[in-house]
Amino acid sequence: MTTNDLLIGMAGAGGDGVMSAGDALITAAALGGYHGVMAKSFGPQIRGGESSFRLRVAIAEVFTVGGTLDVAIALNWDDFLRFGAELPVGAETIVIYDSQYPVGPEGVPLPGARPESTIAVPIAQIARDITGTDKAKNNVVLGLMAGWFGFVPDGLLAGIRKKLGKKGADVLEKNERAFAAGREYAAANPLAPARPLEKAPAPSAPKLLTDGNEMCGAAAIFAGCTFFSGYPITPSSEIMHYLGREIWKYGGTILQAEDEIAGIGAVVGASFAGKKALTATSGPGMSLKTEMLGLATIAELPLVCVNVQRGGPSTGIPTKSEQSDLFQAVFSAHGDVVRPVLAATTVADIFAMTVEAFNIAEEYQTPVILLSDGDLGQRKEIVDPIDTASFRIIERRRANARELERYQRFAITESGISPIADPGTRGGNYLASGIEHNEQGAPTASGATHARMNEKRIRKLNPLKMRRDLFDVYGDPSAAIGMVAWGSVAGIAREALRDAQKKGIRAKLLVPRLLYPVAQQVFEDFFASVRAGFVVEQSHLGQLYRLIRMYVDVPRGVESFARSGSNPFTPAELSERLRDLAVAVQRAGRPELEPATD
C-alpha cells in the first residue's frame, strides 16, 4: 500500500538536529518532484529549548501542514508533549520514539490517543555506536524515513554530503554510516503494512524551496526597494538577514537601527529622498513604529512595513504564530487615518503581495502594512518558479516641468494624489513635516484646511476598494454556505473546502488579500447567497469578523470561528463545521409536515 500524501512531525531538544532533519527531508522532496510544506515550531524561549517541525509531502499541491500526523517522531517524550495540538497524534499515526526513554506502565504517554503502531528504536544508541556522539541522531532518523517510507534516499544522502562535506572526510563518513544504519534497521524491522511514499512524476522544471521571509526580501528587491532599515525581532528577522546578504548586489543599502523607532524613521527619510523603502517587524515593534507611520501618512510618503505576527499582547509568545495584529494594523493611528493593510496567504503569495504592497504605496503615496505571520514567514514551501514577467512595477507620480513652475506638493487633485519631487529637483523644494499643512506644505491650524486635507488623504484610497483582483473566491458562487479566511489560515480553509466538496457539500470560500480599507461591495456580493457560514481566524477576538461587520451587513447565520494562536485549526475540523452548517440549512429549509386531519 503506497501513500501519496504524508505528514511527518518530529520534536526534540536543542542540539538534537530536529530542524536539520526537517530541512533535509523537504529538500529531498523538492529534488524528487514532490509538493511540500514544512512548518517550524519552537518552545517559548527564543534561545535553546525544544523544537519541532511538521512536514507534509504530497503528489498534489498542498496548502497547509494541518491535520493528524501520519508519522510522529519523538526523540524524547517531554519535548514532544510540550507541543500539544501542534503535533496531533491519531488512530492512524505511526509513532517512532527513542527507546532510551522508556514509557510508563500505561504505554506511550499520549493521553486521548491510540496510535496505529508504536515503534521503539535505539536512535541515540545507534548514533553513539557509529559516531561516538548523539549528534548524528537526526541522520539515523533520516535513514529510518528512507527505509520505511522510501523517502527519496538519494536526495537525503546528497543533502548529508552537501551539508557535512566541509567538516572533513571523517565526520562525513560517520554520518553517512549513521544514515545507512537507519536504513538497515528499517529493513530488518519492516512496517506491517508497508507504507512507502508514491514516487512523484518527474518535474517539468526545477522547483523553488524557500520560506516566506526570504520570499518577502526577494520580492522587495524585485519591486525596486533599495533601502531597508529595521531592528531584529522574532519571527521577522530573516527578512533583514536575507536583505543583508542580497540587497547590496542591486545597489541597495541596509541599516540595522538601534531600535524600532529609529528603524522606521530611517525608512521615512529614505522615502522622502526618493527611494523605495521597507521595514519589517512583529507586534511589539509595530507598537513603537506607530508615530512614524502617522508621519508618513500626513507627509504622504510611500513605504512598506511588514508585520510578521506572533502571539501577543506585549512580548506574548514570540515563537508562536497568531493573527491578532489586524486591529493594530488598521486602527493604531492618531487622527483620521486610512492606510492600506494587505495579507499574504502562502509563501509564493508573499512574493506577489510584497510587490503589490510597494505598488500601492507608490501609486497612492502612503504607508502600506503587509501582514504575514510566524507560520507563513518561517515555514518552507516547495513552489513553482515565480513568473516575474507577469508583474507590473509602479513608480510614484513625480512632478513634471509644468507642475514645478509653481510647485504645490500637496495639491488637491481630482484623484487626491499629488505630484511628488525628490530633494534637489529644481523648483521642487517643499516642507514635509508631521504638522498639518496647506497645499504648499506650509503649517496651518485652519480647521477648513485640515478638513480638506483629511478628505484628500482618505479619498485617494477609494479606488483600492474596487480591486476585486485582491480577492479570491473558491467553490460554488451561489452556495448557501460561506466561509471567509485570511493569511495562513486561508490554506487550511482551501483544503477544508476541497474535502467538503468531495462529500457533496455546496459551499464557497472568500480569501481577502486586501483587509483595509474594507471592500464593502466585494463582501456584500459574496454574502448575497449565504445563509450560514463563518469567518475563521487565529485570534481570540475574531478581528476580521468584527472589522467586516463595521462596514457590511453580514447575514445573521454567519458567525466568528476564532481562537488564540498556538492552537492550530485543521482542514478536517473546518470541513466538519461546513457539513454541520449544510445539514442545518437543509433542515431549516424543509417545510414542516401538516398535521393529519379527519
506 and 406 within one domain: no
552 and 521 within one domain: yes
Length of the chain: 598
Phi, psi of 367 (to 5 degrees): -70, 140
Summarize pLDDT for 333-391 with one digit per residue, the tens. 999 999 999 999 999 999 999 999 999 999 999 999 999 999 999 999 999 999 999 99
Residue 590's pLDDT band (cuts 50, 70, 90): low
Summarize pLDDT for 214-231 with one digit per residue, the tens. 999 999 999 999 999 999
373 and 315 within one domain: yes
**What pTM was estimated for this model as a whole?**
0.93
350 and 221 within one domain: yes
pLDDT of 125 reads: 94
Summarize pLDDT for 498-512 with one digit per residue, the tens. 999 999 999 999 999
Query: Which CATH number does the domain housing residue 105 bear?
Result: 3.40.920.10
224 belongs to a structural domain: yes
Residue 596 has pLDDT above 60, yes or no: no
Mean pLDDT computed over every residue of the chain: 93
497 belongs to a structural domain: yes
147 and 26 within one domain: yes
Instruction: Write the burial class of residue 590 (CB in 10 Å: 0-12 exposed, 13-18 middle, 19+ buried).
Output: exposed
64 and 86 within one domain: yes
- Other beta carbons less than 10 A from residue 290's beta carbon: 15
Residue 205's pLDDT band (cuts 50, 70, 90): confident
Query: Which CATH number does the domain housing residue 285 bear?
Result: 3.40.50.970
Phi, psi of 325 (to 5 degrees): -105, 15
User: b/e map of 186-206 (b: 16 or more CB within 10 Å)?
Assistant: beeeeeeeebebeebeeeeee
Phi, psi of 309 (to 5 degrees): -70, 150
pLDDT of 106 reads: 64
Query: Which CATH number does the domain housing residue 522 bear?
Result: 3.40.50.920
Residue 32 is part of which domain span? 5-188
CA nearest to 372, candidates 212, 544, 556, 149 = 212
Summarize pLDDT for 491-549 with one digit per residue, the tens. 999 999 999 999 999 999 999 999 999 999 999 999 999 999 999 999 999 999 999 99
Q: How many structural domains compose the chain?
A: 4
401 and 341 within one domain: no
pLDDT of 498 reads: 95
CA nearest to 7, candidates 48, 31, 39, 49 = 39
418 and 322 within one domain: no
317 belongs to a structural domain: yes
523 and 452 within one domain: no
598 belongs to a structural domain: no
Q: Which of these ranges, 43-52, 98-107, 153-162, 425-434, has the smallest mean pLDDT?
A: 43-52
Summarize pLDDT for 300-323 with one digit per residue, the tens. 999 999 999 999 999 999 989 999
Residue 593's pLDDT band (cuts 50, 70, 90): very low
pLDDT of 102 reads: 73
200 belongs to a structural domain: no
41 and 15 within one domain: yes
Residue 1 has pLDDT above 80, yes or no: no
Sheet holding 227-230, edge to edge: 253-256, 227-230, 277-281, 303-309, 367-373, 341-343, 514-516
203 belongs to a structural domain: no
Summarize pLDDT for 115-166 with one digit per residue, the tens. 878 899 999 999 999 988 888 999 999 999 999 999 888 889 888 888 888 8
438 and 528 within one domain: no
Residue 24 has pLDDT above 80, yes or no: yes
230 belongs to a structural domain: yes
485 and 356 within one domain: no
142 belongs to a structural domain: yes
pLDDT of 598 reads: 46
